[in-house]
């Protein structure tokens, strides 16, 4: 509808022009009308899906930090994005309450905010925990923006919680002699059903996202139908990499009860398999005392000390955003 006045203006200019050769004055009016139409259409905003990582602001990509620091941008996030990351937003921030039981309502609110921002000609940053395309509904949102707004959203990848959360809890998801396969699954299958996990393999690590709210059902299915032993190591890490991180260690026989006992809530990542015990062989069942973020910082300092200063002509980096078409 916004383009209609522009089209009428162009039509009026053409109607006033002679049939054969347009005089300079008429051509000038026509060009002015066309430029006004182009400027009006160019006011349509953009949408960029940005991965926020697991929670620690230091795990944001350079591109993500640059985009959420834009004072002119509208940043649309949900409650799973950590408050530490939300505090870095320099422009307008809107947060949808994506709580269990009202996810669809919150998702519609997110779409409405994004459409509103685009129609106002703004840069909209859709900020999502982890990576937008790893159980983050990123593909659904790309299709929604394409159908609703007729535009192609851009995507900035993020550090996925399926790898970063176990790491923050001291779990190598692959380890020689313990795990040479990795399965990543959502905790919710079609129509809210439990996921169909593959049959148990002692050399496989299973990582579950969005599963803590129905962990009891998932564990029961693993034990009864998928051949998992009751003593299969299990671990759940809550709010990984943030100051509020908590980790519960157990096995399939008691992990669901431990999660309830310690009131572990989303966002949380679940790990099944021998890899969960590689670095925690002597840890008792229950809430761990270790604070993995401090260990992570020690690792970063050690690695940084081993990296030589780049020469002036060297360039480290690459493309940070890929347009989805």
| Residue 98: active-site member | yes
What pLDDT does residue 1 have? 46
Q: Give the sheet arrangement for strand 154-156, strand by strand.
A: 92-96, 74-78, 123-128, 46-51, 154-156, 322-323
Residue 321 in this model has a pLDDT that exceeds 50:
no
pLDDT band at 297 (very low <50, low <70, confident <90, very high): very low
The per-residue pLDDT of the chain, averaged, comes to: 82
Question: What are the structure tokens assigned to 72, written together?
Answer: 């002119």
Residue 35 in this model has a pLDDT that exceeds 50:
no
pLDDT band at 25 (very low <50, low <70, confident <90, very high): low
Of the given ranges (94-98, 182-186, 307-311), which has the lowest mean pLDDT? 307-311
Beta strands in 15-128 (DSSP E): 46-51, 74-78, 92-96, 123-128
pLDDT band at 28 (very low <50, low <70, confident <90, very high): low
What pLDDT does residue 316 have? 37
Residue 306 in this model has a pLDDT that exceeds 70:
no
| Residue 78: active-site member | yes
Residues 227 and 59: their CA atoms lie apart, in Å, by 37
Tokens 């050690």 sit on residue: 302
Q: Give the predicted TM-score (pTM) of the model.
A: 0.75
Interval 144-157: pLDDT, tens:
999 988 999 999 99
pLDDT band at 15 (very low <50, low <70, confident <90, very high): low
Provide the angle, in degrees to the nearest 10, between the axes of the packed helices 24-42 and 4-16: 170
| Residue 210: active-site member | yes
CA 102 to chain centre: 19
Residue 292, class by beta-carbon neighbours within 10 Å (0-12 exposed, 13-18 middle, 19+ buried)? buried
Dihedral of alpha carbons 132, 135, 137, 143, sign: positive
Q: What is the mean pLDDT of residues 261-285?
A: 95
Q: What is the mean pLDDT of residues 270-275?
A: 98
Tokens 């509208």 sit on residue: 74
pLDDT band at 8 (very low <50, low <70, confident <90, very high): very low
Provide the angle, in degrees to the nearest 10, between the axes of the packed helices 138-149 and 103-119: 40
Looking at domain 162-304, its CATH class is: alpha beta
What pLDDT does residue 44 have? 84
What pLDDT does residue 211 have? 95
CATH of domain 46-159: 3.40.1010.10
Residue 185, class by beta-carbon neighbours within 10 Å (0-12 exposed, 13-18 middle, 19+ buried)? buried
Q: Is residue 267 reached through a cis peptide bond, with omega within 30 degrees of 0 on the bond before it?
A: yes
Residues 131 and 157: their CA atoms lie apart, in Å, by 6
Annotated catalytic residue: which of 56, 128, 131, 210? 210
8-state DSSP, 241? T
- Is the pLDDT higher at 15 or at 232? 232
| DSSP assignment string, 119-172 | HTTPEEEEEESB-TTSSS-HHHHHHHHHHHH----EEE----HHHHHHHHTT--
Residues 37 and 9: their CA atoms lie apart, in Å, by 8
Q: Which sequence spans correspond to the domains of the chain?
A: 46-159, 162-304
Q: Which of 136, 141, 114, 144 is nearest to 267 (CA)?
A: 136
Annotated catalytic residue: which of 78, 128, 131, 251? 78
Please determine whether the domains at 46-159 and 162-304 fall in the same fold group of CATH: no
Q: What is the mean pLDDT of residues 154-171?
A: 97
Q: What is the mean pLDDT of residues 273-282?
A: 94
Q: What is the mean pLDDT of residues 159-188?
A: 96
- Is the pLDDT higher at 251 or at 39? 251
What pLDDT does residue 99 have? 61
What pLDDT does residue 114 have? 96
Question: What are the structure tokens assigned to 283, written together?
Answer: 């840890």
Interval 49-89: pLDDT, tens:
999 999 999 999 999 999 999 999 999 998 999 999 999 99
Annotated catalytic residue: which of 56, 98, 128, 251? 98
């Amino acid at each position: 509808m916004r383009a209609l006045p522009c089209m009428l203006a162009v039509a009026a200019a053409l109607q006033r022009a002679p049939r054969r050769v347009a005089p300079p004055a008429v051509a000038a009016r026509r060009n002015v009308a066309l430029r006004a139409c182009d400027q009006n259409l160019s006011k349509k905003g953009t949408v960029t899906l940005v991965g926020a990582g697991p929670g620690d602001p230091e795990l944001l990509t350079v591109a993500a930090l640059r985009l959420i620091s834009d004072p002119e941008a509208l940043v649309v996030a949900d409650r799973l994005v950590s408050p530490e990351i939300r505090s870095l937003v320099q422009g307008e921030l809107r947060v949808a309450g994506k709580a269990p039981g009202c996810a669809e309502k919150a998702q519609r609110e997110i779409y409405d905010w994004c459409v509103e921002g685009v129609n106002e000609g703004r840069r909209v940053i859709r900020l999502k925990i982890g990576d937008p395309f790893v159980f983050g509904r990123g593909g659904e949102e790309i299709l929604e923006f394409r159908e609703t707004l007729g535009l192609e959203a851009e995507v900035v990848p993020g550090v996925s919680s399926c790898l970063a959360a176990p790491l923050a809890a001291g779990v190598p998801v692959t380890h020689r002699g313990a795990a040479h396969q990795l399965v990543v699954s959502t905790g919710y299958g079609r129509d809210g059903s439990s996921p169909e996990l593959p049959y148990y393999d002692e050399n496989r690590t299973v990582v579950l996202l969005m599963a803590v709210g129905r962990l009891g059902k998932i564990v029961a299915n693993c034990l009864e139908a998928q051949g998992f032993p009751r003593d299969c190591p299990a671990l759940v890490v809550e709010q990984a990499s943030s100051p509020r991180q908590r980790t519960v260690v157990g096995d399939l026989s008691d992990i669901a009860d431990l999660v309830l006992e310690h009131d572990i809530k989303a966002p949380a990542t679940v790990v099944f398999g021998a890899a969960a015990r590689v670095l925690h062989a002597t840890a008792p069942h229950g809430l761990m005392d270790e604070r993995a973020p401090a260990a992570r910082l020690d690792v970063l300092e050690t690695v940084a000390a081993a990296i030589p200063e780049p020469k002036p002509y060297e360039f480290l980096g690459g493309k940070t955003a890929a347009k989805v078409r």
